[in-house]
Every structure is written in C-alpha cells, then in structure tokens.
Structure 1
C-alpha cells in the first residue's frame, strides 16, 4: 500500500535534493520541447499557406531558358485548359540614379501580368500591385530609396532603360524572408523586358514558370506529365506541396542543428538525473536500512520510493514542458527576421504528447540504476557511515544497453539520416567517454601528489569524499564546456577568416557578366591590372558514361553534381593552385578534349586520371577526359573553378567574363557607378557588404546556439549542488571538527572554495583542450579554413565559467559554515 504521507515526508526531508532532481528533469526536456513546438508551428503555417508562399500550384524552376520539349508540354496543358501560366525572371543587377551618381546592387524581378496567382504583393500605398506596375514603372523596396537618396516618382536606371519609381513594396508572397538577400527588391513589368535588356546577357538568372491549375484534382496529373518532360533537362518541377522554399530549407537546417544541441543537453541532464537521485537516496540510507531491519523486502522498499520518484518526475516534466513552451515563443521572437510575418508560434499538442512520452522514457532510463541499487543496501548500514551504494555489473550492463537503444533511437528520430546519426551518436558517446577517462586519470594523479599546504591538502581530500560525485560533475561540466568553447572558437575562426581579418591583398569587388566584346573597353575604364576569367555555364551529365541521377544528387546536404557549374579555360595554374595528380595541367599525348578537376569535386563523386566526364553546355554535349587533379594551397577569396579546359575546347562556346578587383573602400561606390553607366549589363558585387550580411546572420544564430549550449552547463552545476547537499552531514562534521581544533570560519570556507575551484579547474582544463581539438578538426577538415586558437579569449571565457561555477557551488555551503559546534554536538546521540 502506498502512503501519501510517506511520500510527502520523504520529499520534505530532502526538499533541496528534490528541487535539484526536478530541475534536472525539466532541463532535459526544455530544449527539445521548444524546438519541437517551434518547428511544428512553422511547418503548420508553411503547409497551410503553401500556395501563397509559392504563388502557384506548380512551379518550374530553371537557370536557363526552358527546353522546347518542356515548353511544348506546358503549352499543351494551357491549350487543354488544365493550367494557366505566368512567368518571372529574377537576378541581381546594379541599378542607379538618373545622374549616375549613386548605385546599388539590387534583386530585380521582371514579372508578367498575372503574377502572383495566390497571395498578394502588398504595397505601401495599399493599391493593387498590377495597377501600379505598368510599363515604364518600377516598384521597389524602401532600403533602395534610402540608399540612393531618391523618392516616389524619381527616375531609376535599370539595365539599358530608365523607369519611374511608382510605389514601395512591403511584402511579397513567394519572398517572405529578406534576411538572406544581398540587395533590395526591384519589380519590373515584363512589358519592359526587352528595354531592360539584361535577361539574355546574364550568367546567373532564375527562370521561374508558375502554373495555376483551376481544377485542383488535376494538379498531380499535370505535375507528373511536366516532370516527365523535364526529366533530362536539369529543370526542377514541383508542386506547392513538394517545393522547398528558402524558409523551409533554412528551417530544416537550423532545427536539425538545434536538435543536436537538444539531444546533447538531454543526455547531460540525464546524467544529472541519475546522480541527483543517487544523492537523494544517500540521504535516505538510514530510513531504508531501518525499513529493511523491521522486515521490509527490497521490492517493498522500491515500491515505496517509486511514487516519490514518479511525483518528482511528473513535476519536473511539467516544469520542463512549460519552460519549453515559453522558450518556443522567445525563439520565435529571436528568429522573426528569418521567417514570414504571418507565422506565429502556437502550442503543439502533438509536440507536448511527444515531450511527455520522452519525459517518461528519460525518467525510466535514468532512474533505473539508483532504484535498482536500493536492493543492495543492507540493514547493517544503520551502524556505518558509508554513503555510497555498491554496484552490480548486471544492472550496469542493462542500463548501458537501454541507454544505447534510447540514445540511438532518439538520434534516428531527429536526424532522419542514418549515416550522420551514427556519426553524431559516436561523437557524443566519444566525448563523454573521453571526458570520463580523462577525469579519472587526473583524479588518480591528483590523489598521489604530495601537498604540504594544509588548506589545499584538505580541499583535494574533499574531492574524494564518499558520495561527492566528483567524477560525474567533472564529466558533465567538461562535456558541456567543451561544446560551448568549441562553438565559440568555430564562430571566432569564421569571423577572423571572412569578416575582421579580410586579407589585405584579397579582392573585394567581383564583376560578373562582362561580354567578350566589352573586355578591352572595360579594362580601359578600370585602368588597373586584372585577370579575366571566361565563364561557360554547363551541367555534368555522366561520369565514365554512367548518367548522373539529378534527383538523387539534389537531395544531398553538401555540394553535388546535380547543379549547374561554371567552366573556364586557360593553359596555366593560378597562383594558389598546385597539381596533386598528373604531371601537368593538360597532356600533349591526348587528342580528345581534356579537363582538369579541382580535388573538391572528388568529394562529390569518385574520379581519377583518365576518367571521362560528360557535360551539357547549353544544349551541346561534350565529353572530356580528366588530365589532372588540382588543389588550392591557400584559403584565399580569389576566384577558382572546379573544371578547367583547354582554350581550343571551350573558346567557341557562349560565355561571359568574370574578374575580381581590389579597390579602396571609398572608391567602390564611384567606380561601381562608372562601370554600370558604361556597361549596364554587368553585375558588381561588393564582397565587404556581403560579408557584413553574413556576419550579422552568423552573430544572431550563434547567440541562439550558445544560449542553448549553456543549458548543458547548468546540468553540471546542478550535479555539483546536489553533491554538496548529499554530503551535507559529512561537510558539517568536517566543519565542526575544524572549528573545535581552533580553525576559523574563514579557514573552513577556504577549504570548501578551493575544493570547488580545483574541481572547476580540472573541468575547464579538460574542456579547453577538447574544445581546441574539436574546433581545429572542424575548421581544418570541414570548413577548410585556417585555425587560430584565440588563447586570450579562451582564458577570459574560462575565467567567466569558473566564476559562475564557484559562485553557484558555494551557495549551498553557507548553511554548513553557519553551523555552530555546540549545536551540532547537542544533536548527536550518545555513542
């Protein structure tokens, strides 16, 4: 029979341990509850408004003009009344004022009359979009007006024509997020397409065909026929249900990464649950021993304590889910700039149900060992001072098996990628095992070091106090601090490489879409040394005559062979290149077309010297044999190409020219204006401005990730607090003995402070070493950038972490230090 009075008494007598246990349970669920609820809210909105977000039922996306076969297939659907079509062309171009004094890189969108089929383009004036977007007029974003210093009614040069600014766009359905855009929007009517004169001269342009299917039931049939017609064109055909918007892609990737953090926090918190419950039962040793002495079996003891654990677990789960919902709303506000304005977070009941199931699974798993160890406690413990439960290997093995099954199941549930899931699981387990082994080794060494100073000697001795959970605290703090430090180091290295430490000799201005006929005139205008790179757009069709599966390639997370590549031709290596396979760039004893491949391509597909690669160059097939494999020897921002051909092979192909310039910052604006005035078709990209956009995004996202990573450190601090509570009686005894022998309160305080300091230092040292290793491997082998250890910054954040841990760790010792020897001796029974 379960007695409610017994449950409440046991919780009240160990209220501090009960609170810590509840917090560990809550901590384990907070992050995953927040991420699950947030992602479900966004996905639900994206699904409900999918037609508006794509402005059509069927979307045909291409970087080139559609093939005749696909165009005929679309026209056939239109003639049969199955679909209605509208199109738009989207690209970046520099627009400028009428006097050519100011210019800005903009995202130009030339749209046909029916755009958009669903949703609406909201204008500042509140008038209909198509009414304001007439021939000879443009609708722009407010930042463009601000940067050019013009207003409504002002002339604006776009390409080879001049348009009048008619209105300001507030939002558009299929571009709900502007945070990833590197230029303000400019809408142009398709009636000005020829006058603008840029579509035929640009190397990078999105050709978007939108189809509205009047009879919704025919959508899938129309989609299937069009997809079949586009099967070999490298064109992407989607319905509003299957298409992935930029928002969806960002959300998938960001939530994927946050889930990694959430799972890590859950595992670290699980260790906290196990250790705090063990500490809770350590305080109940006398009670359990008495129960067994008067005839209670182990099963009865466990049956009495399971409701206690269950009640605390339910309370912790409730706190965790409530906190997770609150964090979800906070996360939505922090990420508001990345998502459509119509998305509002809401409570996801399916997410809450999933969190409840997860909470009970965590409870069952991490409370198993502490509850099982109650069987091992004997009535003789009434007369002993030990506070540690014996271990049984069978129970430990059962827990290990359950943990592995739970952990891998959780990883597979959230990763949805078997290979990466296995890598991640191995990395987390490896991190915890290395932390545990390192902690054990350091403690073994520390125990054998002779220490003369009494305060330090007693502090070190306190680390090995029974029930102190020293190793568990070090493992959790080391693992969590390693992740926090590693994220900080990776962020700093990215910032150092691309933002603050921009190489002095690196180009800062990219000029694209120069026509071959403009080459000499452009060189004369710029009047500085430069290298011209011919650019030919093409797709890879086959490797060794084996066709490339574009759909399979397109779902890969990393770079793949399914996209369109920029080819070039030259007879020499660049300054930052060297050949790693082959003797020279091209072989003189081969007569067929040859291609030199950058080693990065080998990560997409296995290749070697002598293999053949098939290309589709704007409808013309070409098969080339690999003559050499190159690598880049520096991490510079200089241009590079994956595929380099001989001049005789590609020179006749349709092409544009690309160059990179180094220009003083104060000259970028005037030079850009002069270049675009002379050559309206070219695009000028200011890398410094682009990098600032990247820096702002990186800062916001890394702040969010760091914030959640700090939660894992909280688990280690909770274990530390629990260990202090669990050894309270031993610490009081030590404190009293010190005072009886003449020590002052300050001496006892120093012993406890040094004990926590040594524990924190061990954790920080291990974390610093492991984070440097992790960050180095990620930077060098994943991001392929130079690595800087940032030792001074690491010292500062390590000091801050130590200060937090020591301050929080000392709080529970205040009542211990306040205990008077006489009061303590009066409480003790006569022995």
Structure 2
C-alpha cells in the first residue's frame, strides 16, 4: 500500500529534525559514497576531456582535414592529381633508421620524418631555438638541417650545432623539437624523432625497393563540406589504391579507442570501490538504526505507522548520500584540471577548464543506486522488529531477512546498477563479465565467512584464554567475520590480480629474454646487400643464428569478398585489420610454427594464391580453411585462399607473421628482407660492437636492438601498472573504510563484552591479545582467499587471454599477507583501543536499563 501524503510529510518533518543533530555515525558512510562516486566521476570526466580535446583539435593532430597514407610506395600520378585537386597538400615520409656519429662511435635508432615546405597545414611546430621550420631544415653547404627530440641528443651525446649521419646524408642539428602538432596521428614510436626535409631523405638513400616507409599526404580542403563523404568517394574512385584515409573528426581513432577502453576499466574498478563501499553503507545504516532503537520503539508505541518510521530514516540516508555524492562530484569536476598538469604534452587536453555533465550525472546515479541498494535491507529489518523487542534488546537481529517487498526493491536496484554499468560501457561483454565476477566474489566471500565461523565453532578447546576468546568472537552472533572478509576480500583480490599480471609481464619481458628473444632485428636489407651482410654478421657473431625472410607490407581489404570496414569484428581481432600488416612468403613451414589445420603447399607450387593464417587471429575474425583474404600490396589487390591455419607463438619475439603466402603470389614483386640475429652468449659490449659494425658498413639497414625496444615497452607497462594500481588502491581504501565502519558498528557490543570481562577479572593486556588474535585469524583467512582468487584470475588473464606463461610469485603472496595483517590488526586495534578504557559502571547501568 502506498504511503499517504500526510505520512510522507510527517516522515520528512521527523527526518529534518534528526538531521539537525549532525552526521554522527555517518562519516564512514559519507566517505564510502564520496570515494566511489568521485572515482567514477573523475575517470569519466578526464576521459571525456581527452576525447573531446582529440575531436576539437583534430585538424592540428592530423595536420590537415584529410590524411592519405600509403605504405612502401608513393601516390601515382593519377592519385596525386586527385589529392591536389582537393586543396592545399603537405607531404611527409616516415620510417625508422639509424642516426650515427661520423666517427661511428655512437648510433641510435630514430623515428625519421621528412617534410616539405608546406608542413604543417594546421597547428604550430615549435623548436628551440624558435625559428621557421624551413630555415631550420635548409641545406647549409654539404649538410642538411635537422631538428630532433632531446632524447636523441642524449643518446648520441651531441648538442645543437653538431653533425650526424643518416644513411648517406650528412645532417647538422639546428634545434630541438618542443611541439610537433601531428605526433599523435603518426602513431606510437619506439625511438626519438628526427625531423628532416624530403630533400635530405632522398640524399640519404634510405628509400629503396621494398623499404618500410610511410608516405602521408595531408590536405587542407578547399571545400570543408567534402570531409563527410571523402572516404567513400575516394575509395569508389580508387578501389585498389590500398591507402588508409583519416579525417580530422577521427584524427587518432586508435588513441581514442584506447582512452575509452582504459577509462571503462577504471570506471569498473571505481564501481567495485562503490560496491565495496555499499557494504560500508549497509553497516553504517545498521549501526545508525541500532543507535536509534529507543527512538524507533518510542515512535511505534506512540502510534507511528511502520512506513513513517522507514521513510523517516530513508530520507535521512538519502540526504546524507546526496552530501557524499556532491563531495565526490566536486572532486570529479576538478579532476580534469588536475589531470591537465600531468597529461599536457602526452595526450591532448582542453585549452580551458570544462565540466562534463554526463560524466558527473552517471557517477551520481551510480552513487544513489548503490546507497539505496545496500540501505533497503537494514531498513526493512528495523521495520519488522516490534517495539517491545527494541526496548528489550540491544538491537535488531541482523540475520533475519526483511519482508519480500524490501528484498524485491533491493534486487531491482542491484539490477538497475548492473544494467547501467553494462549499457554505458564500450565493451558490454567485458562489463558483464566484470560485474558477474564481483557478484560471484560476493557469494564466495559470504561462503568463506560462513566457513571461517563454522571452523571456529568446531575448533578444539585451547588453553590460552585470549585465543579462546578470539575464536569465540569469530563465530558468535553479531561477529565481525562477514564484514571483515567481505570488505577486505574484494580489495585484496583486485590488488593480487593486478600485481601478478604486472609481475608476470615484467618477468616475461626480462628474465626469459635471453632464452627466447633474438638480440637484433634488421630491417630493409636489400637483395644486393644480403651476401655481404651475412658475411659481416658471421664475422662479428660466429656463434649467432641469423634468420632471414622476405618482407612486404599489405593491408587487408576484404574477407570472403566483404569489405572489412563493414564487418563486425571482436575488439581482440581488430588490430589485424587496422592499417598495414607485415607479410611474407615461404616455400616451407616456418620453423617456429606448427599447423593446426590444413596442409602446407608443396615445393614449386604454381596454382592460385594461397595463404597460411594465424589460427587464433583467424578464429577471432571468423575465418576458416577455404575462405579468401584480399590484401593490397604496393597498390595491387591480391585475393588468396586460406590453405591452412598455424599456431603462432608471438611471445617468442622471433619473426612471426599473421599471413604467410605461397611464393608464387608475389613472384617478381620488389621487396626487402627482414632478419634476426640470436646470440645468447653476446654481452652488452659485444652487442654494441655488432651494432656499430653493421650500421657503419650498411647505413641504410635499420638495426633494432631488442633489449632497447623492450626497455621502452617495460616503461610503458610500468606506467600503465601504476595507473591501474592507483585505481585498485581506491577499492582498497574503500575496503579500509568498510572495515573501520564494521568495527564502529560493532563497538557497542564490544564495549559491553569488554566491560563484563574486565569486571570478571580480565586484564587489558589479555583483551588486547584476544582482539589481536581475532584480527590476525581473519586477516590470514582473507589473505588466503585473496591469493587463491587473485591467482586464478591472473592465471586466466595471462595464460588464456595473453597466451603467456603464468607463474605464482612468492613476493606477491608475502606482500598480500603483510598488507592484510597490517590492515586488520592495525585498524582493528585502533578501533577497539577506546573500548578498553571504558568505565564499567556507566556501561553496566545502561545495559541494566
């Protein structure tokens, strides 16, 4: 039956009077709601700030309205005429190569970018010293001007004004790069930038047959309205061009997608913190209602309907939740301002502070739904207790479930919370799995708490009075066990999972590197250089193993004749279709692969083009043997039939390709060669000698030392892990708050027990030992669960998703145990220290009343 308007007014009046007394008992409630709401609001506000900045600065990020990219070939005369007809054009070429000192003493891999005089069409290029870019890149005598990232100067030990060599060209360093407007649209680089003129690139001799070079044509449209349809129009006019086209409204799609994915993950972590905080809400509400038991009993005896009592405290809880949500929203609103200081120069950020109402609104709804979902049950429990019981007992029975309307309301609110999380996520499957895991963890943690209490109840009698008291506290009615296990379990499990993933990734990248990975990758080896290159490597590394394969670049245009841009592909498989892929051909099955389906083509095969596809990636794209793949290579579209599928061990860091074609597919096509050198016995000094010898003898061959590349990856993994751990720390802080709230909720009963024990002869030291034993047992039990659950979760992510070897790390186990014990014992003793000093008379007098 719906409450009457008079009852609602009476409940509001009573709630307003009680609120005047302050928020006593609700500070942890406020902190839990503010923390979770603030985390969600901050993550989504910063995400929207970055993505909106990418959209607003699309022209600068792209350095044009439209960008046409071609790999390994320049635009044909017809294609260039078409591009020129669209508006002003700036051309740039990008590749990786070795920059070195003239005496050959130092060399470094560089991300080379050659630009013409029109660059940049949008945005500002800033160098130090501040001079026009054409002047900085102009030729001076026999040397071409060049500007570089400060890191390149540090690696080579040079300064502005010094000279260096790039391929066959001599460069004079005229400045350092401060701001490069289109660096984000150029993609991630493994090396520092070196900017030169296109004339200098031609003089370097780096662009040869089959060289891995990207040609970019950036256009400032004469008619900006063309941008909306230019991709479709261009592809219809040049269906076999094989170019990648981007417009300024999607200047950095991969970056935007990665930002959205990462923000989704952090939002889910924030939601975890909010749900963990929901347990604190339930504890706080239960403790608050317990403290109001006399008031509730009085209201009922005076004839107040149960609905008025329930609404009175529901309104109070809602008001306090609004205060907590507002605190969280305030932090979320200013988070972009804080983030701008750290992200400026790394990611696009807004020029001015802006608020993102949708992000704040989403966080507010999450916060209110969580509050109501976890407050309804204790409210229902208080409603069902008769006035006589409230006068007679210390509180209401928390184990008794309320009537079905309250349970139904709770279920509806939890379903709404889950639905909101799923339908606002970019990847709904991941969100569903994440929430399912949280729900499962709640159930399992409840079972763990029940198991701990059952074991404590059945444990043999011990001689130590303190330990006996601790065991009794674990299983008695109203014990802290469920709250402690639930509050700490989720936070610790999340930390263990992330720490194990991070530790395994780092171990795989470092400790197993000498056994698996080659020492060097060599790119752009021309056919005329192969024999001399082999001889040189043999002399420098006689114990090493040199592996060579032909190397081309191609972009997948269609699968089974269907345009890949119109195919729905799972996120895990999109990378295969994004941009150009390295491809090769081989008469024999590669040594580091094995067939899973189909057969390899025979020697001297001359039939229709065939391709071997990586089995895992084929499954993600929905491909099987007999399907066709259309690839554009050097402006020519080739359709090949999948002849077999093979298992590829990407973590081996050896030469691997998604697609390996039959040799007849590319007969006569110009290409370069890719090689690796594996020499486990080579010391860092020896690697330096090999690098210098090959770079000096073959300046147009790009040499990549694997350890240098992995150092960059390791730093990126470390930065990512730091961000993830910071987010997980929010959940752990929520766990601490919930633990503190559980202790506060149980303080009344603890105070009475402590006073009675002291009256019966118990000493303060014995009580301290008893409480310490109790918290230690709960801490060890919770840490054990976190290690098991986190270990299984990390194993699934590493072994099943990342396809990497997974192992348990003892230091993680020890660290988790220490954290758990410090939190439970430390916070537990802090919370109960005041109890031990209570005078007996007032407590016993109150109990007697």
TM-score relative to the length of structure 2: 0.90
Is the 1:60–1:237 Cα contact (8 Å) retained in structure 2?
Answer: yes
Q: Secondary structure at the match of 1:494?
A: helix
Corresponding position of 1:660: 676
Range moving further from structure 2, 816-825 or 564-573: 564-573
Corresponding position of 1:130: 134
How big is the shift at 1:565?
2.9
Q: Secondary structure at the match of 1:503?
A: helix
Aligned length: 824
From 687, 694, 706, the equivalent of 2:725 is 706
Q: Secondary structure at the match of 1:241?
A: helix
Range moving further from structure 2, 219-228 or 299-308: 219-228
Distance 1:562 1:15 in 2: 55
Partner deviation per Cα, 1:93-135 (whole Å, 9 max, x = no partner): 1111222222110011111110001111101011111222224
Distance 1:39 1:451 in 2: 57
How big is the shift at 1:790?
0.4
Cα distance 1:533–1:193, how it changes in 2: closer, same or farther (>3 A)?
Answer: same
Cα distance 1:333–1:428, how it changes in 2: closer, same or farther (>3 A)?
Answer: farther
Corresponding position of 1:532: 548
Range moving further from structure 2, 119-128 or 194-203: 194-203
Corresponding position of 1:441: 451
How big is the shift at 1:344?
6.7
Is the 2:33–2:328 Cα contact (8 Å) retained in structure 1?
Answer: yes
Cα distance 1:96–1:710, how it changes in 2: closer, same or farther (>3 A)?
Answer: same
5+ residue gaps, structure 2, are 1-8
Is the 1:57–1:210 Cα contact (8 Å) retained in structure 2?
Answer: yes
Cα distance 1:229–1:431, how it changes in 2: closer, same or farther (>3 A)?
Answer: farther
Corresponding position of 1:496: 507
From 249, 252, 266, the equivalent of 1:258 is 266
Q: Secondary structure at the match of 2:546?
A: coil
Corresponding position of 1:715: 734
Partner deviation per Cα, 1:391-450 (whole Å, 9 max, x = no partner): 12442233123212221212321x223333333332332333333333333433333233
Distance 2:604 2:84 in 1: 54
2:696 equivalent to 1:677: yes
Distance 2:649 2:73 in 1: 37
2:39 equivalent to 1:31: yes
How big is the shift at 1:827?
4.4
Corresponding position of 1:154: 162
Distance 1:622 1:735 in 2: 83
Is the 1:469–1:723 Cα contact (8 Å) retained in structure 2?
Answer: yes
Within 5 A, what are the aligned runs for 1:302-381?
302-325=310-333, 328-336=336-344, 338-340=346-348, 346-381=354-389
From 710, 727, 737, the equivalent of 1:691 is 710
2:634 equivalent to 1:618: yes
Distance 1:602 1:402 in 2: 41
From 218, 225, 233, the equivalent of 1:210 is 218
Corresponding position of 1:398: 409
Range moving further from structure 2, 344-353 or 465-474: 344-353
Is the 1:507–1:660 Cα contact (8 Å) retained in structure 2?
Answer: yes
Range moving further from structure 2, 505-514 or 170-179: 170-179
From 649, 654, 674, the equivalent of 1:638 is 654
Corresponding position of 1:810: 829
Range moving further from structure 2, 83-92 or 153-162: 153-162
The CA RMSD over aligned residues, in Å, is 3.0
Is the 2:605–2:664 Cα contact (8 Å) retained in structure 1?
Answer: no
Corresponding position of 1:423: 433
Distance 2:439 2:58 in 1: 40
Within 5 A, what are the aligned runs for 1:187-266?
187-201=195-209, 203-220=211-228, 222=230, 225-244=233-252, 247-266=255-274
Q: Secondary structure at the match of 1:604?
A: helix
Cα distance 1:694–1:75, how it changes in 2: closer, same or farther (>3 A)?
Answer: same
Corresponding position of 2:534: 523
Distance 2:619 2:719 in 1: 31
5+ residue gaps, structure 1, are none
2:796 equivalent to 1:788: no
Q: Secondary structure at the match of 2:786?
A: helix
Q: Secondary structure at the match of 1:17?
A: coil
Distance 1:176 1:574 in 2: 35
Q: Secondary structure at the match of 2:723?
A: helix
Range moving further from structure 2, 223-232 or 436-445: 223-232
2:498 equivalent to 1:479: no
How big is the shift at 1:292?
0.6
Distance 1:276 1:198 in 2: 69
Corresponding position of 1:549: 564
Is the 1:511–1:684 Cα contact (8 Å) retained in structure 2?
Answer: yes
Q: Secondary structure at the match of 2:178?
A: strand
Is the 1:387–1:466 Cα contact (8 Å) retained in structure 2?
Answer: no
Is the 2:555–2:579 Cα contact (8 Å) retained in structure 1?
Answer: yes
How big is the shift at 1:784?
1.0
2:477 equivalent to 1:462: no
From 774, 777, 780, the equivalent of 1:758 is 777
TM-score relative to the length of structure 1: 0.91
2:91 equivalent to 1:97: no
Is the 1:138–1:163 Cα contact (8 Å) retained in structure 2?
Answer: yes
Is the 1:510–1:686 Cα contact (8 Å) retained in structure 2?
Answer: yes
How big is the shift at 1:271?
2.7
Distance 1:227 1:649 in 2: 24
